[in-house]
Structure 1
C-alpha cells in the first residue's frame, strides 16, 4: 500500500493481471504490472492520496471477487486496470476473465465471471469509477463482444483495447504499458487524450479500442413525462412499406428499412465500414448488466452448417444490378430534424458505428441499457428502446440475421409488456424484422429465423394482407433449398 498526502478523499487503484499458464495463455498479462507499479500512485487514481492493490496471476475467483468488493466499497475514486483474456462459457453464455488455473473445461469454476465485476461496480456512485482494460478474447468471446460490447455498468468510464486471439504467439499488453510509459514521462493528459495516445502506440491487426466516457442521466432522453413512443425524437423513421407490393420506385436504390440509425444524416446510401469484430449467431439471453426475459432467436444450426448471422460475400439485395425494391423496403426518407441534447448518447453511438467501431458502439449501448433496466425494469419501454438500437447497429454492420433477431426480440418484449399487436411500435418492429430477414440470401441463416418470424407474423400480421403468407412461402422454399 502506498499513501501520499494532500487530498481528503483517497483514491484506490486495483491492478489485476491474470492469464492461464501453459498453452492456454494468450497474453503476457503479468508483464503489465511492473510498468504500472512504477507509476506515481496519484497518476493511477487521479487523486493526491492513493491506495494501490496488485493482483498478479490470481488463481481463485473468490479471492479476486473479495479484493474487487473491498475496493468498490471505498468512497473515493476507483480505477481498475485489468490485463488478461476473456473466454465464453458455452453452457450459460457468460463472459469470464481467465485466471491462473483456468482451462477450457474448468472455465465456469476457475474463471472470474465478468458480471461479478460489473455487479460490484454498479453499487458505486456514478462518475467515480474508471476501468482500463487490455484484453485478448478467444474466438467465441470475440464474436459475442461484437454483439454485446463490453459492459462495465452505469456511471463507469471505460477505456481499453480488446484483440482477437493472436496467431502462434502470445500477445503483449502494449496498450496498458503505453499508459504507464506516458505517465512515467511526466505527462498528465486527460483520460480521453491518454487513451488516444496509447491506442496509437498499441494498434495491432484486428484490435478494437473502447472509449466510453459518459454517464447516463437519471432520465434517458426521450423518456421524460409524456414521452410516449419508445424512441428519442428523430431516432426512428416510419416503418417500411408492408407486403404485398414493393414501395414506389424513385429511380434510386431504396435503402434498407429499419430504425433511422440515430441521426437524420445516416442513410443506407453510405456503405458502413465492415465490422472489425466477426458476427456471431445470437443465442442465449443478451446480457448487458442485467437479465432480460426476451431472447433473440436465430435457431440452432446443424453441425457443419453455416450459422445464422454469418456474413456472406454476396452483395445486399438493394445493391445488386437491376434491383427492384423488395417487400418492406421504402424510398429514401428524411425524418424530422432533431438536435440532440448534451446528454443524448445516440450521436456518439452512430459515430462509432459509422467508423466501424461496432464493439465500442455496443459498449455504449450496454451502458445506457443497463441504466434503463435499473431504473425502469427489463420489460419497460425504456429498455426495449435499447433492444431496437442494437437491432439498428446490426443493420449498419450489414448483419441482417442479427438485426432481424433483435427486432423480433423488441416486438416480443412490447407484446409481453401488454402492447397490442396493432400498435404502431409493435408493427414497426415486426416489419423491420421481416425486412432484415428478406435481405438474408444464405438459406440456412434465413431458415433458422423463419419459424420465429412466422410465429410472430401470426400475432402481428401488419396493416396490409399478405405478410404472413409471404413468410410462409419463403420458409417453404428455404426448406426445399436446404433439404
Structure 2
C-alpha cells in the first residue's frame, strides 16, 4: 500500500465489561497491536502517534479521544475490541465499555452513530478506517443479523462481529491477534481489503465463529461464510523491526492525602452534550479579545502550565490514575512542558481562563478551551508528546473540580501510561505524580463496578511506579479486596 500523506494516528480501544456484558477478553487484543510500528499500523510516513484506551469507563472520554484523533491531518485508524450491544429504547448499536451492562447501555456505552459522525468530515484526502473485533450480545445479534449492513453505513469498516459465545465462556480477540501478527511481519501496510481477507482466513483457522459478520471496507458491505478462495493474500515475508520493549520501571515516591468528593450522578449519554462540550479546532482569528485569550493557541508555541491559582482545591501531589493516595503534602500540578528553543509572539496563557471557568461551574466552557489547545498540541507535537500529555492532565484536574473522581482517575492513569509509553521511567516525578493522583481519585469513587474496572488499570501502574512508600500498592490491593467483598 502506498504511504498516505503525513504522519498518521491510531486510536486503539479495548473494553471488557464485568458480569453478563463480558463477552470477550478484549484487553488481550492491544499488547500485540501496540507492538506494531506506528507507521505500519497507520499506513503513513514515520512519526505516527498511537493512543491506547484499555477498559475505558466513560463514553465522554472515549469520544474526546476520538475527536482529537479525527483532527490529525494524516491517515487515521480506529480499532475497537469488545462487546456490541443495542439499547432497549431506540435499538441503536453501542460499543460496550468497562462498566456497561445490558441495563445501562444508554448511560455507559458509546453510541455507534457518534463514532461515525466524528469521522464523517475527514474527507477523502485524509484516509480513515475503522477496524472492529466485536462480539454481539444475545439481544444485539438477531437485530444485527437482520440488518448486517447497519454498522457499515458512512464509514470504511473492516473486521468482524461475532455472535455471542456459549454460556459462561468468553471469546478471544482472534481477528485482532491475526491482524497484529500480519502487520508485525511487514515493513509497509498492504491495502486494507487484501489485509482483511488474509486476516479473516487466519482468524477462522484459529477458531473464529464461521457465522461472524465480516466487513471488508466501503459503505454498507457485510459478508458471512468462508473467505473467497480467490482473495489475494499479501506477502508477509519481510519482517519489520523497531517496536520498543515496554518500560518496566522501579520507582519511589510518597503518596498524598486524598480529598473528599461526592460521586457524580449518571445521566443518559446523548449526542448533544458532548458535542457541544468540545468544539472543532479553534479559528486562527477569534472575533473577540476574550476568545483570543481563551481559544487560539499558536502553532509555534508549546502549551504552558503555570502553577495553579491559590485556593483552587486542585493541588494534590502527582497521583496516577486509579491509585489510592494517603499521607503526603500536595504539590503543584500539572508540570510545565518544555518550551521550544525559539518562540514567536507568545499567546496569552489560557490556564487562568480555564481555572476561572471551572471554579465558576462553567465546566463545558473550560472543557472547550482545553480541547482546542489539546488538539493544537496533538497536531503540532504529536499525540504522545509532553505537550499533548499536559492537556490530558489538565482535563484530569477539571474532572476533579467537577466532582467526578472516576473520570479524573481514568485521565491521570491515561497520562501515566502515555508517559511510560514514550520511555519515561517509572521513577520519573511526572509518572509518579500521575499515578499518585490517580490512586487518590480512585479511593473517592463510590460506584463499586467503576472502581473495580479502573483498578484493573491502576494496579499495574502502581506496580510499575510504587513510589517511596512501598505500602501504597498494599493499601490499594487491600482496599480493592475490601470493595470486592462488599459487592
Which category describes the TM-score, using the shorter chain as reference length? 0.3 to 0.5
Name the larger-Rg structure. Answer: 1
* TM-score, with structure 1 as normaliser: 0.42
Which structure has more RCO (C-alpha within 8 Å, separation ≥ 6)? 2
* TM-score, with structure 2 as normaliser: 0.41
